[in-house]
Amino acid sequence: MNLETVIGLEIHIQLKTKSKMFCSCSNQGENQPANTTVCPICLGHPGTLPFANQEAVNMGIKLALALNCEINKKSVWARKNYFYPDLPKGYQISQFESPLASNGHLTIFAADKEKRIGLERLHLEEDAAKNFHTPEAVLVDYNRAGTPLAEIVTRPDFKTPAEAKVFLQNLRLIARYLKVSDADMEKGHLRCDANISLRPIGEEKLYPKTEIKNLNSFRSVERSLEYEIKRQTELWNLGTPPKITTTRGWDEKKLQTVEQRTKEESADYRYFPEPDLLPLVFTEADIAAIHALLPELPRAKVLRFIKEYQVNPADGHVLVEDEQVADYFEAVMTETRAWLEANGDVLGTSEEVWELNKKKMTKLVTGWLTSELFKLMNEAKIGVKDLKISPENFAEFVVLLYQRKMNSSSGQVILYKMFLTGGDPSAIMEEEDLALLDDGEQLAKVVAKVLAENQNQVMDYRQGKTPLLKFFIGLAMKEMKGKADPEALAELFRQHLDD
């Protein structure tokens, strides 16, 4: 049977406000001793009244706007009733019929293709406390009770587990750019439930779904969905596809999903409008004011990098993965551009010089940044903000390569020194005596010597074994103690061998 996969996600993002959603307790409770960032409001004492945190509301709107949602002019708080020890009031304040925002979308870049994922809604709510299961008892830490969450519900637009993973990674990145959340899955700042069902290809209707709960890493999202595809495919092939909606948990050790319970329908929560809070009301001007505060978002940045610097799309996505890396890249490009415009080897206006050379320069910058420099940073476990190499020095380093004043093997030595000391690349090149010898006469002498000493290989080359060029270059490089430009050598050898 030909089946297709239908996946939708429900995501909770913890907002990093100063205080909780409906009281003035600190929202830093996860770093504090248990049950110390609490008050009668978030402990649900009778007679207390909640008040909505304006900072959380603004963050919710920022996130909704970044996800291309429509902000609802009026949204209503609602009580979601259920009984559980981590919910002291016996209900959670959430939003139901009128959420903060609806009808958004996010375009992701998965498997080399762009794909638009629809978003049904984004609403605000408070988090529950945290339960700790010990052999003797269940302990509850109320520090998390009442902390603000944005819940995002996507449309069932994902066709593969990989798309779901990429979407979550994009969402994390957007939350970080907006500074509304660190969105760390491991720390529970970004939590995801995934809904999945299969259906025969060509059918439009949705079959009963399985909801996978408590996925706490991108990898487990992908793996658990892959597992479910296999499990449900077998059920379909046996003629017994799932008949009811079920909830399953992901067992990270056994790498399988485990049935938990049949899911409550929303009727079981007996939602009703929260009588203790006024609806949230926004004017166009309120929304426009927040819209004006949005930074350039990752996707817009990638598209601009492609347009402005001719970055290739894959590199562009790597660069924007960390906003500080993206800023560093741009600072380096600005410096190399200034250099090119001042020293361009082409006649023309500075604009023309830049247009003619930028692609080559971008390739050098992204290549050395994302491979060599990232490798050094990873090994030392540091980020760009702790990097000793200033964008000016990195730009100068790239310019030396561009001018062929050093080759890539001396480049590696120099970059490593710069990484350790923050030193200036020209100075290091002098100190270490790594500058290339661009003395044409000397190069010609070495080339002649190598050819004279390897007559047999010269004959083989002339009979068609052209890969021997690398062998000749290697020998000449050795003669020059590594201080030659391999491309210049290749050119000289070709001149001798090809005529």
Query: Which residues form the interface with Zn ion (CB under 5 A)?
Result: 23, 25, 39, 41-42
Q: Which is nearer to Mn ion, 151 or 274 (CB)?
A: 151
Q: Which is nearer to Zn ion, 25 or 225 (CB)?
A: 25
Q: Which is nearer to Mn ion, 268 or 431 (CB)?
A: 268
Q: How many residues comprise the chain?
A: 499
- Residue-by-residue DSSP string for 285-342: HHHHHHHTTPPPPHHHHHHHHHHHH---HHHHHHHHTSHHHHHHHHHHHHHHHHHHHH
Q: Which is nearer to Zn ion, 5 or 37 (CB)?
A: 37
Instruction: Measure the CA–CA gap between 389 and 471, rounded to whole angstroms.
Output: 36
Q: Which two tokens stand for residue 380?
A: 């030392």
Instruction: Measure the CA–CA gap between 436 and 438, rounded to whole angstroms.
Output: 6
Report in angstroms how near the CB of residue 65 gets to Mn ion at its nearest.
Answer: 21
Report in angstroms how near the CB of residue 110 gets to Mn ion at its nearest.
Answer: 26
Report in angstroms how near the CB of residue 73 gets to Mn ion at its nearest.
Answer: 23
Q: Select the span of 71-79, 144-152, 174-182, 403-411 touching Mn ion (CB under 5 A).
A: 144-152
Q: Which is nearer to Mn ion, 92 or 169 (CB)?
A: 92
Closest CA to 177 of 325, 278, 313: 325
* Side-chain-side CA neighbours of residue 20 (13 Å): 27
Report in angstroms how near the CB of residue 192 gets to Mn ion at its nearest.
Answer: 12
Residue 42 site contact among Zn ion, Mn ion, none (CB < 5 to 8 Å, cut-off depends on kind): Zn ion
Bridge partners, residue 251, by sequence = 256
DSSP state of 101: E
Q: Select the span of 29-37, 147-155, 237-245, 364-372 touching Mn ion (CB under 5 A).
A: 147-155
Residue 473 site contact among Zn ion, Mn ion, none (CB < 5 to 8 Å, cut-off depends on kind): none
Report in angstroms how near the CB of residue 34 gets to Zn ion at its nearest.
Answer: 14
Among 126, 127, 141, 151, binds Mn ion (CB under 5 A): 151
3-state secondary structure of 375: helix
Positions 159 through 198 that interact with Mn ion (CB under 5 A): none
Residue 39 site contact among Zn ion, Mn ion, none (CB < 5 to 8 Å, cut-off depends on kind): Zn ion
Q: Please, are residues 78 and 272 in contact by the beta-carbon 8 Å criterion?
A: yes
Q: Which is nearer to Zn ion, 9 or 25 (CB)?
A: 25
Residue 151 site contact among Mn ion, Zn ion, none (CB < 5 to 8 Å, cut-off depends on kind): Mn ion
Q: Select the span of 150-158, 159-167, 299-307, 481-489 touching Mn ion (CB under 5 A).
A: 150-158
Report in angstroms how near the CB of residue 101 gets to Zn ion at its nearest.
Answer: 26
Q: Select the span of 151-159, 179-187, 389-397, 452-460 touching Mn ion (CB under 5 A).
A: 151-159
Closest residue to Mn ion, Cβ-based? 151
Q: Which is nearer to Zn ion, 39 or 490 (CB)?
A: 39
**Beta-sheet strand order (sheet of 256-262):** 70-71, 101-110, 113-126, 148-154, 3-14, 190-200, 210-215, 246-251, 256-262
Strands 138-141 and 101-110: unpaired
Q: Select the span of 1-9, 100-108, 145-153, 299-307 touching Mn ion (CB under 5 A).
A: 145-153
Q: Which is nearer to Zn ion, 23 or 369 (CB)?
A: 23
Instruction: Measure the CA–CA gap between 19 and 42, rounded to whole angstroms.
Output: 11
- Residue-by-residue DSSP string for 196-220: EEEEETT--SPPPPEEEEEE-SHHH
Report in angstroms how near the CB of residue 151 gets to Mn ion at its nearest.
Answer: 4
Backbone φ, ψ for residue 195 (5° rounding): -105, 130
Q: Which two tokens stand for residue 187?
A: 């720390």
Closest CA to 214 of 246, 191, 183: 191
Q: Which is nearer to Zn ion, 20 or 337 (CB)?
A: 20
Residue 23 site contact among Zn ion, Mn ion, none (CB < 5 to 8 Å, cut-off depends on kind): Zn ion
Report in angstroms how near the CB of residue 57 gets to Zn ion at its nearest.
Answer: 17
Is 127 a binding residue for Mn ion by CB under 5 A? The answer is no
Instruction: Measure the CA–CA gap between 142 and 317, rounded to whole angstroms.
Output: 39
Positions 453 through 492 that interact with Mn ion (CB under 5 A): none
What are the C-alpha distances in Å from 28 to residues 44, 85, 130, 334? 19, 22, 14, 39
Q: Which is nearer to Zn ion, 87 or 168 (CB)?
A: 87
Q: Which residues contact Mn ion by CB under 5 A?
A: 151
